Amino acid sequence: MHVFLIILFNFIQSDLDSNVFLIQDNLIRYYDEELQPLEEQVLELPQEIKIDAYTHATINDRFYFFGGKSGQVYSLEGNKVKRIDETIDHRMTINATIFVHHDTIFKYGGYGYWSQRNFMTYFDFVSKEWEVYKKNTSYNPKGRYGGFHFKTKDKIYFFGGARVDENDRLKSIENKEIVSFDFKTKKYSLLGTTTFDLSNWDHLVNSNSYILLKANNFLYKVDLINNKLLTYELPPFLWKTEQRLSHQNSYKNGEFRFVVKDNFDQIEWIKIKEDLLFALPIKTEPFFESKKDTRFIYILLLAFLLFVLMRYILIKQRKKTVILNEKGVVRNAILHPLNEAQIKVLKVILLKGEISTAELLKIIEKDTLSYVHNIRLKNDFITQLNYELKTIFGFSKEPLELKRGEIDRRIKYLVPKEAFQVLLKKIKVT
Please provide residue 363's backbone torsions phi and psi, each rounded to the nearest 5 degrees: -80, -40
Pairing between β-strand 62-67 and β-strand 54-59 as defined by DSSP bridges: antiparallel
pLDDT tens digits along 34-87: 888 888 888 898 877 777 668 888 898 898 988 888 888 999 999 999 999 998
pLDDT for position 157:
96
317 has pLDDT over 80: no
| Residue 19 confidence class, pLDDT cut points 50, 70, 90 | low
CATH class label, 43-199: mainly beta
pLDDT for position 295:
63
In sequence order, what are the residues at sequence separation of 6 or more whose Cβ sits closer than 8 angstroms to the Cβ of residue 120? Answer: 106, 107, 108, 132, 133, 135, 181
Cβ atoms within 10 Å of 208's Cβ, excluding its own:
9
> Which of 285-289, 336-340, 369-373 is predicted least confidently?
369-373
| Burial (CB count <10 Å: 0-12, 13-18, 19+), residue 34 | exposed
pLDDT for position 319:
63
In sequence order, what are the residues at sequence separation of 6 or more whose Cβ sits closer than 8 angstroms to the Cβ of residue 98? Answer: 55, 66, 67, 105, 106, 107
The listed range with the strongest mean pLDDT (58-72, 124-138, 405-419) is 124-138
- Of 384, 357, 385, the C-alpha closest to 371 is 357
The listed range with the strongest mean pLDDT (30-44, 145-159, 258-272) is 145-159
pLDDT for position 246:
79
Helix (H, G, I), strand (E, B) or coil at 239: coil
Report the alpha-carbon distance of residue 24 to residue 138 in Å, rounded: 45
Span 221-236, mean pLDDT?
95
- First-to-last alpha carbon distance for the chain, in angstroms, is 102
Report the alpha-carbon distance of residue 61 to residue 13 in Å, rounded: 9
Pairing between β-strand 37-42 and β-strand 162-165 as defined by DSSP bridges: unpaired
> Which of 124-138, 166-180, 403-417 is predicted least confidently?
403-417
Angle at 31 between CA 28 and CA 34, to 5 degrees: 160
In sequence order, what are the residues at sequence separation of 6 or more whose Cβ sits closer than 8 angstroms to the Cβ of residue 200? Answer: 215, 216
18 has pLDDT over 90: no
pLDDT for position 125:
94
247 has pLDDT over 90: no
From edge to edge, which strands make up the β-sheet containing 155-159?
Answer: 148-151, 155-159, 177-182, 187-193, 289-290
Span 351-379, mean pLDDT?
88
Write down the domain spans for the chain: 43-199, 202-291, 296-429
- pTM for the full predicted model: 0.65
Cβ atoms within 10 Å of 74's Cβ, excluding its own:
23
Angle at 142 between CA 139 and CA 148, to 5 degrees: 110
